[in-house]
Amino acid sequence: MKDYKEYSNPLSERYASREMLYLFSPHKKFTTWRKLWIALAESEKELGLNITDEQVSEMKANVENIDFEYAAQMERKFRHDVMAHVHTFGECCPKAMPIIHLGATSAYVGDNTDAIVLKEGMELVRKKLVNVMDNMAKFARTYKNVPTLGFTHFQPAQLTTVGKRACLWLQDFVLDFETLEFAIENIRFRGVKGTTGTQASFLHLFDGDHEKVKTLDKMVTEKMDFDKVLTITGQTYTRKQDTRVLSALAQIAETTHKMATDLRLLANLKEIEEPFEKNQIGSSAMAYKRNPMRCERVCSLARHVISLSMNPYMTHATQWFERTLDDSANRRIGISEAFLCIDAILELLYNITSGLVVYERMIEKRVMEELPFMATENIIMESVKRGADRQEMHEAVRVASMEAGKRVKMEGQSNDLLDRLAAEKSVPLNKEEILALLDPIKFVGRAPEQVDQFLAEEIDTVTSKYSALLGMDVDIKV
């Protein structure tokens, strides 16, 4: 067979950021394992076990000194990744080798590292989500007074504003943000629990001293920057934690899919477009095209995240007693891909919302094509104020509306409803007076005020709290 280039995941080649890719890298994983072994040894020493300062110092000095080739050799020999890295760490820490992983099981480094990565991954997602929300808030403020057609069933409906519509997307992000915040604040460390979660090995090490075992669990948890630890575990932390985290990511995905879909529809209406670069090609054949490729990519990746969120539900549901290993391969793929996809989605949305193009003249044109129909109630009411019969006005407007609608739909002509009504003898208004009733801003209700209230009460509090996170450099590779 020819020496072809091997498959590589497009999430790493095309989509995800370097900072998110690092969280799921071997370097991050195995240096975290070593930090966990150090925290364990240091705490055991402080609680009276025969571990020396020299052994702990040796371990600390070699956190970054990982011989990955030797580790691979050891894993082929032992068929066990944790023991392979115990021996690899021991090679550069010969004095500490006898006490590395003392009393622990594989899940001590595996699950606690997973909890650390989940927490840091969600914090990175939070940073990017806050930046997207800040961009969208600026957009909503800028366009809060620009009337646009509302759509129900993708049919023209009562007017709203461009800024108010953006707040519909933002409202969903607020709910997602609350879910994400809850997941970050409540993720729990597995802690120091032993092989089946009973802490039997540590109870033996401390000669039956239950208080020292409890303190050890607390000390390691705090050393690894967690304020919550699971009191009860089997061999692993409950896989329900994965469900909570991926559910939070999936909720962000559904919101981004909805928003990106709306933007794709608006692009078709020629009202709003995503940024289009000077040399960008929309189609290899149709040179005029401006495809919403970034919004389409958001939708594509979002569907994948939503599908991945089912994995932890099924995994947790099928774990037997204290644990089975049929979760391992699944979690390696599903968790990392969910985070990498959401990372790519939020970078894309940050790029999109940094340069949305609004075609106000096109929006106004479409509003004025439909507004005469929507304004008929106001025309009837104003006519009645001037002495006309309400029922006669209703019939006159109904007939004129039907004829104007036929002209638009059947003949492809412009909407001439206003001219028809101005010419109708029973209508006591001339065209200028009718046009005065058709100022679009009069038909948007409290949309501008709702934007101001919503941004002040629900968005500004978030962006103010996390102001240090604002500002991103994104590199959209393709």
The string of DSSP letters for 163-197 reads HHHHHHHHHHHHHHHHHHHHHHHH--B--S--SSS
Based on C-alpha coordinates, what's the Rg of the chain? 31
Q: What is the pTM of this model?
A: 0.91
The answer to the question of residue 471 being in a domain is no
Q: Is residue 5 part of a domain?
A: no
Instruction: Examine residue 293 and state whether it is found in any structural domain, yes or no.
Output: yes
- Residue 463 in any domain: the answer is no
Question: Phi and psi dihedrals of 223, rounded to 5?
Answer: -65, -30
CB of 138 closer than 8 Å to CB of 118: no
Local confidence pLDDT in tens for the 478 residues of the chain: 566 778 888 898 899 999 999 999 999 999 999 999 999 999 999 999 999 999 999 999 999 999 999 999 999 999 999 999 999 999 999 999 999 999 999 999 999 999 999 999 999 999 999 999 999 999 999 999 999 999 999 998 899 999 999 999 999 999 999 999 999 999 999 999 999 999 999 999 999 999 999 999 999 999 999 999 999 999 999 999 999 999 999 999 999 999 999 999 999 999 999 987 644 445 444 444 578 999 999 999 999 999 999 999 999 999 999 999 999 999 999 999 999 999 999 999 999 999 999 999 999 999 988 888 888 888 888 889 999 989 988 998 889 888 888 888 888 888 888 888 888 888 888 888 888 888 999 999 999 999 999 999 999 999 999 999 999 988 887 7
Q: CATH number for the domain including 428?
A: 1.10.40.30
For residue 431, the tally of other CB atoms under 10 A from its CB is: 12
Domain of residue 207: give its range. 106-362
Looking at the structure, tell me whether residues 174 and 235 fall in a common domain: yes
Residues 250 and 383 in one domain: no
Long-range pairs, 409-416, Cβ under 8 A, ≥24: 414/369, 415/369, 415/370, 415/372, 415/373
Which residues are the active-site residues? 153, 283
Q: Are residues 44 and 134 in the same domain?
A: no
Examine the domain organization and report whether 261 and 400 are in the same domain.
no
Same domain, 117 and 266: yes
* Sign of the alpha-carbon torsion through 14, 16, 19, 25: negative
The domain total for the chain is: 3
In terms of domains, do 189 and 270 share one?
yes
Per the domain annotation, does 443 fall within a domain? Answer: no
- Domain annotation covers residue 331: yes
User: Is the domain of 380 the same as that of 304?
Assistant: no
SS3 label, residue 218:
helix
**Do 111 and 253 fall into the same domain?**
yes
Tell me which of 331, 362, 393 is where a domain ends. 362
